[in-house]
Structures are given as structure tokens and as C-alpha cells.
């Protein structure tokens, strides 16, 4: 009788997963060569709104900026959680391989540990991973697609000199004097509320929910709406 050998990590799994990884890598490289980020600078200077709706690698980190957009004013204290939650989530991903669907006992999933799982069992078994992958892709897309990631050269280019193209001549002095002064007197404050009295026409500025100039909130808005926040 022919002996049926148990499939092992080496070479079965390594070759199977490895070849899949190589195929994905080749697809990524081909896509990167075929669909390059349209950037003709310095020959053609982009417009400040360029890059909106164009997929870019920056989308990944824009995700971490999103809480600064939503948690302003009264909800500002929630910002701390936007640092903690991804950390917990990362731990969850690390331990995911050890998490089992509770109502399915091991014997039921793979009786005797011999028969390979069928396609549909695998699909059901991997549902949490698939859901998380879709969720990650979704929030990455959602947080990035409106960002004007290619428009930076419109304003930050070599004809603009110090502070716009090259760093300030004396960085320490710039931060302590110039930038500090800008922050103190800047008109633009994210989250600023203006109410107009209907009878007297008097304007009241409510700065309670306002963020300061050139803080994290400003840096983020500078990327999403550079012609409005600068």
C-alpha cells in the first residue's frame, strides 16, 4: 500500500505560499511600471489641486491623520485613542493565526488532521482575515482619495526661495521667532465658528473649538485643501 505522506511546512507550504507571493510581487511591479504617478515637474508645474483621486502610497499614512480632521473641539480628547486603537489592532493581527472560530472544534474543521480542507471550508475559516483586509483597503481608500498629494510642487518649487522651497536660513530662529509669531497672530483657525447677530449684524468668533495654526490639524488640512489652509 502506498504511504500517504502528511503535508509539511517545508517544502509544501513554503513553495505554495512563496509562489503566490512572487506572483503578487510581479503584478505589483508591472502595475507600478504601467501606471506611474503623473508628475512632469519641473517641466510642467502641477496645479495645487493635483493628485486628488489618484492612488498614491501616501494614502497609507493619511489614515493616521484622519482623526485630526474629525476630533476637534469638544471631541479632541478622543485623539489619544487614535494612537492606542491601531496599536491594539496590530496586536490583534499578530495573534490572529491563533484565534479560532469558537463553535468549530478542531476535529470538525479538519478531521484527523489528514483530509485537506475544501475550498468553501477554507473560505469560511478565513472570513475574519478577508473582512479585515477589505476593511483596511476601504479605510485606506476613504482617507486618501481626496488628498492633493501631487500638488505640493505648485507652491513649493525652486522659484519660491527660502521657507517655501528650501528650509529657512536659520531654522532655530525661524521656529522661535517667525513661526511662533505666525502661530500667535494667524487668522486661519480650523474649527472656528462665526455667528452673526441678525439685528445688529455683529460677528462673534467662537474659538472654543478652534485648533491652532500649524499644528497637526493644520498640517493635515494643508494636504487636503492647500489653497485654503496655508
* Residue 218: partners with Cβ closer than 8 Å, 6 or more residues away: 188, 190, 211, 212, 229
Confirm if 190 and 218 have CB atoms less than 8 A apart. yes
C-alpha cell belonging to residue 33: 511600471
Length of the chain measured in residues? 230
Per-residue x/- track, 30-69, ligand HEC (CB under 6 A): ------------------x---------------------
Candidate list 76, 189, 192, 222; residue touching ligand HEC; CB under 6 A:
222
Stretch that binds ligand HEC, among 9-17, 99-107, 108-116, 147-155 (CB under 6 A): 147-155
Q: Does 165 bind ligand HEC (CB under 6 A)?
A: no
As a whole number of angstroms, the distance between CA 67 and CA 61 comes to 12
As a whole number of angstroms, the distance between CA 4 and CA 224 comes to 60
Of 57, 56, 76, which is closest to residue 217 (Cα–Cα)? 76
In the complex, the smallest distance separating the C-beta of residue 174 from ligand HEC, rounded to whole angstroms, is 8
In the complex, the smallest distance separating the C-beta of residue 157 from ligand HEC, rounded to whole angstroms, is 10
Candidate list 79, 136, 152, 210; residue touching ligand HEC; CB under 6 A:
152
* Residue 137: partners with Cβ closer than 8 Å, 6 or more residues away: none
Q: Does 179 bind ligand HEC (CB under 6 A)?
A: yes
Candidate list 13, 122, 163, 181; residue touching ligand HEC; CB under 6 A:
163
Catalog residues that contact ligand HEC under the rule CB under 6 A. 48, 148-149, 151-152, 154-156, 163-164, 179, 214, 222-223, 226-227, 230
Amino acid at each position: 500500500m502506498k504511504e500517504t505522506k502528511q503535508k509539511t511546512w517545508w517544502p509544501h507550504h513554503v513553495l505554495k505560499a512563496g509562489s503566490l507571493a512572487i506572483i503578487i510581487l510581479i503584478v505589483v511591479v508591472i502595475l507600478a511600471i504601467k501606471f506611474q504617478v503623473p508628475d512632469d515637474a519641473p517641466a510642467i508645474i502641477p496645479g495645487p489641486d493635483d493628485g486628488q483621486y489618484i492612488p498614491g502610497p501616501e494614502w497609507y499614512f493619511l489614515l493616521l491623520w484622519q482623526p485630526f480632521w474629525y476630533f476637534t473641539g469638544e471631541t479632541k480628547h478622543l485623539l489619544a485613542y487614535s494612537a492606542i486603537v491601531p496599536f491594539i489592532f496590530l496586536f490583534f493581527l499578530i495573534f490572529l493565526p491563533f484565534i479560532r472560530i469558537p463553535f468549530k472544534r478542531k476535529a470538525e474543521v479538519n478531521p484527523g488532521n489528514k483530509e485537506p480542507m475544501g475550498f468553501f471550508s477554507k473560505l469560511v475559516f478565513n472570513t475574519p482575515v478577508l473582512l479585515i483586509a477589505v476593511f483596511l483597503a476601504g479605510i485606506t481608500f476613504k482617507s486618501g482619495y481626496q488628498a492633493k498629494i501631487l500638488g505640493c510642487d505648485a507652491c513649493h518649487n525652486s522659484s519660491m526661495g527660502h521657507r517655501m522651497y528650501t528650509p529657512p536660513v536659520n531654522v532655530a530662529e525661524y521656529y522661535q521667532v517667525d513661526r511662533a509669531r505666525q502661530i500667535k497672530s494667524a487668522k486661519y483657525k480650523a474649527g472656528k465658528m462665526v455667528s452673526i447677530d441678525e439685528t445688529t449684524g455683529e460677528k462673534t468668533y467662537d474659538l472654543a473649538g478652534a485648533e491652532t495654526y500649524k499644528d497637526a490639524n493644520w498640517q493635515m488640512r494643508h494636504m487636503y485643501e492647500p489653497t485654503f489652509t496655508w
